[in-house]
Amino acid sequence: MWSSRPSASPPSDIAFIVQNPALGAGALWRAAAGHAKRHQQGLPVPLAFVVLPMVFHGPTLKEITSTRTGSGLARLTSKFKNQEDDLQAIQRRALRMRPLSFDALALASATGLVRIDYDAATAMPVDQSPKPAVEAGSKAILDGAEKLGTWFAEHSLHHIAAMLRLDF
């Protein structure tokens, strides 16, 4: 049975195990919840396309998780000053991961994790109830996404784009 299965290269299999729309939908829900908790408004949709490229990238996630929530986005970006290429790589990853981010946002909406406000172009969490228990690796991704949402709520879209060297 398994021998008839088409073989895929291991890196793409491994990437899909972690970087998939279901985990992405959960991360976007948590980012929207973090944003709504701080700002009482939904996460701007353009920022939904930045969350996954940041939390699905190991070195960036490590910097996010090691930065206290109260320190903010400016503190996170200051950690990249010596590695300017890492900060500029967020834009490249965001472009490359657009299909995954779109699928994750669509899944989050279809499953009722977020409600898309098309007029305001925001994603609002439908429920902010206690988070379910998850595996440690996924927990870091989800917690990192929530932290990003909280930080994003403190700045305008234009300011976030400037800080993260993004081009919307």
Global pTM reads 0.86
Please indicate, yes or no, if residue 57 is contained in any of the structural domains.
Answer: yes
Please indicate, yes or no, if residue 42 is contained in any of the structural domains.
Answer: yes
The model's pLDDT over 94-119, given as tens digits with 9 standing for 90+, comes to: 999 999 999 999 999 999 999 999 99
Residue-level pLDDT at 128: 73
Please indicate, yes or no, if residue 11 is contained in any of the structural domains.
Answer: no
Please indicate, yes or no, if residue 75 is contained in any of the structural domains.
Answer: yes
Listed as own residue / partner, the contacts of 90-97 with beta carbons closer than 8 Å and 24 or more positions apart are: 90/50, 90/53, 90/54, 90/60, 90/164, 90/165, 90/166, 91/164, 91/165, 91/166, 91/167, 93/53, 93/54, 93/57, 94/49, 94/50, 94/53, 94/166, 96/53, 97/19, 97/49, 97/52, 97/53, 97/56
Is residue 11 scored above 70 in pLDDT? Answer: no
Q: Which of 49, 56, 55, 53 is nearest to 17 (CA)?
A: 56
Please indicate, yes or no, if residue 120 is contained in any of the structural domains.
Answer: yes
Provide the 3-class DSSP secondary structure of residue 112.
coil
Please indicate, yes or no, if residue 71 is contained in any of the structural domains.
Answer: yes
Which domain range does residue 59 map to? 17-164
**Between residues 135 and 79, the one the model is more confident about:** 79
> How many structural domains is the chain composed of?
1
The model's pLDDT over 44-70, given as tens digits with 9 standing for 90+, comes to: 999 999 999 999 999 999 999 999 999
Is residue 164 scored above 70 in pLDDT? Answer: yes
